[in-house]
Structures are given as structure tokens and as C-alpha cells.
Amino acid sequence: MVKTINKKEILVVDDEKEICRMLEKALKNNYAVSSVGNGEDAIEFVSKRKPRLVILDLKLPGKNGAETLSELKKKSDSLPVILISGINGASADGSREAGADGFMAKPLDMNKLSKLVSRLVGGDVDSVSGLPLAMEPFLKSALNDIEDKKVDLNGAVNRVMNKYINYLIRKYNKNIH
């Protein structure tokens, strides 16, 4: 009997076919990668297929990346979206304010993008600590709080666990009663 591995699906949304091919090639070993060329197709794809992550270009024909992001987040706030852009002035801060979970400027650094995808899709663990990579932002926040003397170690641990549990609840749309 052959064991099949279900890869987590990622959707790439970019009207530049070369970018889509490059991302598919870079991510295909670990993920099932699909691509579409505009925002309308992205919204339809996400409604039908429920990918684990979307990599979304800001500049698209028709519905632009910001409008598409807004609609995707209305459908599923827990769907991670990475905005990519070659537009001067586009930034990570502006992307987060718009609801994105990450931002990468073009030309893309595939090493950094792969790490960001891995962190946002989840399921991967740190080889040293054994902790999920998705916990990294929560742990960094806790370390900053300890350094700034906002909380002691016990308070930081409680904050990290509460934030991580809430993150998992949102991510998997679970209602805990």
C-alpha cells in the first residue's frame, strides 16, 4: 500500500505568470501550490478550496490586492495572507494595518519567504526547542515584556500561553465553551 502525503495548499495570486511559476517551483516540495491571476478568481478559489495560505500581489487587474485582502479576511479572518509588491512605498506596516499576516517586497527573497510561509502555515517545529514555529512571535513578545519589566517570568508564560491558545482557536475556528 502506498502512503500518500496530503500537502497543505497555498494559493498564489499574481498577474505575472513568471512570479507564479517561481513561487510554485520554490514551494512545491512542501506544499500543493495553485495560482490565479486576479482578485476575483482568488476569492472564488478560496471559497471553494480553502487553502491554508494566500500569497497575494498588491497590484492586480480589476480588484486590486488590498480589496481582495479585505474580502478574503471577511470570509475567513484566520486565513493567513502574505502581501507581495514591487510598488515603491508599500510596506510591512501598511500591510499589517490592512489585515495581512506578512509582507515581502519584490524582488522576492525566496529564503525569507519560505520561512514566513512555514511559520504562517504552521505544523513546523523548531529543531532546537521542539516548539511550534508559530509560537515565535508570542515568545519574542514575552521576552520583550520581561526585558521592559512589564511582567515577571510567570506573567510572561501566562501571557504567551493565553495568546497562543487564542491564536489556535482563531486559526482553527474552534468555539470553546
Which residue in the block uniquely carries the three cell numbers 521542539? 130
Strand boundaries in the chain, DSSP class E: 8-13, 31-36, 53-57, 81-85, 102-105
Q: Which pLDDT belongs to residue 36?
A: 98
Whether 110 is covered by a domain: the verdict is yes
Same domain, 48 and 81: yes
How many distinct structural domains can be found in the chain?
A: 2
Whether 1 is covered by a domain: the verdict is no
First-to-last C-alpha distance (Å) of the chain:
41
114, 119, 149 from 160: Cα distances, Å: 25, 17, 16
Each of the 177 residues of the chain gets a pLDDT tens digit; together they read 344 456 889 999 999 999 999 999 999 888 899 999 999 999 999 999 999 999 999 999 999 999 999 999 998 888 999 999 988 766 666 667 778 889 999 999 998 998 899 888 865 555 455 566 667 777 778 888 888 888 788 887 887 788 777 777 777 665 555
Whether 176 is covered by a domain: the verdict is no
| DSSP character string of 85-125 | E-STT--HHHHHHHT-SEEEESSP-HHHHHHHHHHHH---B
Q: Which residues pair with 53 in a beta bridge?
A: 10
Whether 177 is covered by a domain: the verdict is no
Q: Give me the amino acid identity at 41.
A: D
Q: Which pLDDT belongs to residue 127?
A: 44
Same domain, 66 and 117: yes
Same domain, 144 and 71: no
For residues 29 and 5, the answer to whether their CB atoms sit within 8 Å is no
Same domain, 151 and 86: no
Determine the structural domain holding residue 83 and report its residue range: 8-121
Same domain, 68 and 104: yes
Same domain, 72 and 151: no
